[in-house]
Chains A and B, each alone.
Chain A
Amino acid sequence: MVKAWKKRVLREKLRGFFSRSGPLEQNETSDPVQAALLGLDADERAVVVLREIEECSYEDIADALQCRLGQVKSLLFRARAKLQILLRPERAS
C-alpha cells in the first residue's frame, strides 16, 4: 500500500515537472529560466525541480530517484551552481 502511494506521489511530481519544463525535445524557448533548466543534466534537473518547484524533502527526493541523501545534496548543489552561472544578469541580457 505504501509502495503504491509513493508511486502515485512520484507520478504527480513528475507530472508537475513536465508541466513546468515543457516537452524535452523543445530546446528553443523564450524563457531564460526554462532554457537554463534545459541546460542541466537529467538528474540535476529532476532534483532541482523536485526540490524548488515541488518542494519535496531530501528524503522524498532520494526515495523517488532511488539514490542516497548525500547524492541528493551534492546534485542539488551542482544544479544550483550551474543555474547561478546560466542565469547571471549579464548572461541573460
Chain B
Amino acid sequence: MNDDLRERLSAYLDGSLSRIERASIEAQLARSQDLKRELESLRAVSGALKKLPVAEPPQELMERLDQLLGAAPGRDWILLPPAYRPVAFALSSAIVCLVIWDKTRPPEEVSAPRSGWQGDVVAVKSAADSPSPELNFSEAISSMSASASAAGPSDAAQPPSPETPSRAAQPALGSPVEAAPSSDSFSARSEEERSAINERLHETLELEKKKMGIVKVLDKSASVVEEPVAPRFPPPTALVLKDADSLRAAWTAAGLEGPPPSVAFPEQMAIFLVCQSRCGIVSLRPGKKILMVLYKDSGVDNAASRVLAVPASDKPIVLRPAPGSNMDR
C-alpha cells in the first residue's frame, strides 16, 4: 500500500475527498481487506485521541498566550475591531440624539394660512338657523359682570348703543356654550354697562380665537379665505352677515358706536371686517369665482369702513391688503 493511497484514506476518514475520489476509495475498500484494516486502524487512533482527558492549562501559559495574540485577558466581549468602533459610536449617538429630539420638540404650531388654503373654517350661525334666540355669551358675561359694573362710570361718555341684540352672529367657539341663564340680568343693566360688557366680550372673543388658532370664519352659504399679512398686524377676519339681526349683534359685540349701516337684506349681504388694528375695507373686486375684499390700515377707527354691503353671493371671499397700504407685505 503506497503512501498516496494511505494519504487519501486519511482524507476519506475526514470526509475531505471529492465525490470521484471518494467513489474510487470506496471501490478499493470493497476489494481490499488490507485497506479496510488500515481504515479501522486510523479510526482507532482517531478515537483514542478523542478520549484524551481535558487538562487545565497553567494560568501563566494562558496569560502568555493572550499577550502573544494581542488581547488582554477577559476582553472576549469586544467583537468590533478598533477601526469599526468610531462608526458604531457615531451611529448609536445619532440614534440617541434622534430619540431625544423627538421626545422634546414642541408640538407643531398652527401656521398662518397659505394662499388658497382651505383649512379649518368655522361656520357662522345665521340668525334664521340659530336654535337659541338668546345670546351665546352668557359664560363670558357672567364672569365679567363684577368688573363691568365697576368699570361702568368710566364708560359713561359713550352714547347709548342701539337696542340689545337678541340674536348673535358670531363664530362658534370650540367648546359648546351653555344656554344663557343670565340674559335677564344682562338686559336689566344700564346701556353703559352693556356697552362696556360688549367691548370686553369682543376682546375675550378675539383672545379665544387666537388661543384656539381660529383664523377663518365661514358662513353657512359663503366662505371666507384669508391672505396672510405681515406679522406686525394680526390677520383680520371677515364675518358674512345675511340678516339685520346678525349685523346688529356683530356691530354691538365689536363695540362700535351708532347704528349699523343699512343693508338691503336679503338681496344684499354685509361683510364685516373684524380686526384689532384700525383697518377698513377699501374696495371689493368681484371675480368669477371669488370676491376679493381689499383692506388697509385706515388710521382712524372708522366703524363704517369696516362694513361693506355687497350683493348676496355664495362665492368665497378673499381678504387682501390694499396695494400701497402699510399693511401690504
- Residue in B46, B52, B70, B79 whose CB lies within 8 Å of A34: B52
- Return the contact of A23 from the options B54, B58, B70, B76 (Cβ within 8 A): B58
Query: Within residues 3 to 60 of chain B, which ones have a CB less than 8 A from any CB in chain A?
Result: 3, 6-7, 10-11, 14, 16, 41-42, 44-46, 48-58
Interface contacts (Cβ under 8 Å), in number, total: 88
Which of the listed residues B52, B54, B56, B79 has the most CB atoms from chain A within 10 Å of its own CB?
Answer: B52
Which residues of A12-28 are within 8 A (CB) of B? Answer: 14-15, 18-23
**Contact residues in B for A22 (Cβ distance below 8 Å):** 55
Tell yes or no: B81 within 8 A of A by CB: yes
Give complex CA distance A15, B62 in Å: 7
Q: How far is the CA of A10 from the CA of B45 in the complex (A)?
A: 24
Closest chain A CB from B60 CB (angstroms):
11
Residues of B within 8 A of A11 (CB): 65-66, 69, 71
**Could you tell me if A77 and B3 are in contact, using CB atoms closer than 8 angstroms?**
yes
Contact mask for chain A residues 60-83; partner B; CB cutoff 8 A; 1 contact, 0 none: 000000000000011011001101
Inter-subunit contact B49/A33 (CB<8 Å): yes
Partner of B45, one of A15, A23, A83: A83
| A53 adjacent to B50 (CB under 8 Å) | yes
Question: With A15-B65, A19-B56, A20-B53 in contact, is A84–B7 under 8 Å at CB?
Answer: no
Which residue of chain B has the shortest Cβ distance to A34 in the bound complex? B52
**What band does the interface of chain B fall in when counting residues whose beta carbon is under 8 Å from A?**
35 or more
Residues B54 and A18 in contact, CB atoms below 8 Å apart? no
- Whether B146 is near chain A, meaning CB under 8 Å from some CB there, is no
Tell me the complex Cα distance, A22–B6, Å.
30
- B75 CB → nearest A CB, Å: 10
Mask of B72-95 contacts with A, CB within 8 angstroms, 1/0 = 000010011100100000000000
Q: Which residues of chain B come closer than 8 Å to A5, judged between CB atoms?
A: 79
- B10's contact among A31, A57, A77, by CB below 8 Å, is which? A77
Contacting residues of chain A (24-69) with chain B, CB-CB under 8 angstroms: 31, 33-34, 37, 48-49, 51-53, 57-58
B61 adjacent to chain A (CB < 8 Å): yes
CB of B53 within 8 A of CB of A31, answer: yes
B80 and A1 form a contact (CB under 8 A): yes
- Whether the pair A77, B7 counts as a contact (CB closer than 8 A) is yes
Asked if B46 and A52 make an inter-chain contact with CB atoms under 8 angstroms apart, the answer reads yes
B61 & A14 in contact (Cβ 8 Å cutoff): no
Cβ of B13 to closest chain A Cβ, rounded Å = 8
Complex contacts, B70 vs chain A, CB 8 Å? 7
Contact assessment for B11 and A4 in the assembled complex, using a CB-CB cutoff below 8 Å: no
Chain B residues with CB under 8 Å of chain A are 3, 6-7, 10-11, 14, 16, 41-42, 44-46, 48-58, 61-62, 65-66, 69-71, 76, 79-81, 84
Besides A5-B79, A73-B7, A87-B48, 19 other A-B contacts (C-beta < 8 A): A1-B80, A1-B84, A7-B70, A8-B76, A11-B71, A19-B54, A23-B58, A31-B52, A31-B53, A33-B48, A33-B49, A33-B51, A37-B52, A51-B14, A77-B3, A77-B6, A80-B42, A80-B45, A83-B48
Task: Please give me the 8 A-B residue pairs with the lowest Cβ-Cβ distance, nearest first.
Answer: A77-B7, A52-B49, A18-B57, A77-B10, A83-B45, A4-B81, A20-B52, A33-B48
Q: Supply 26 A–B pairs (Cβ within 8 Å), ascending by A.
A: A1-B81, A3-B81, A5-B79, A7-B70, A7-B71, A10-B69, A11-B65, A14-B65, A15-B57, A15-B62, A15-B65, A19-B54, A19-B57, A20-B54, A20-B55, A31-B53, A52-B50, A57-B16, A73-B11, A77-B3, A77-B6, A80-B45, A80-B46, A83-B49, A84-B41, A87-B45
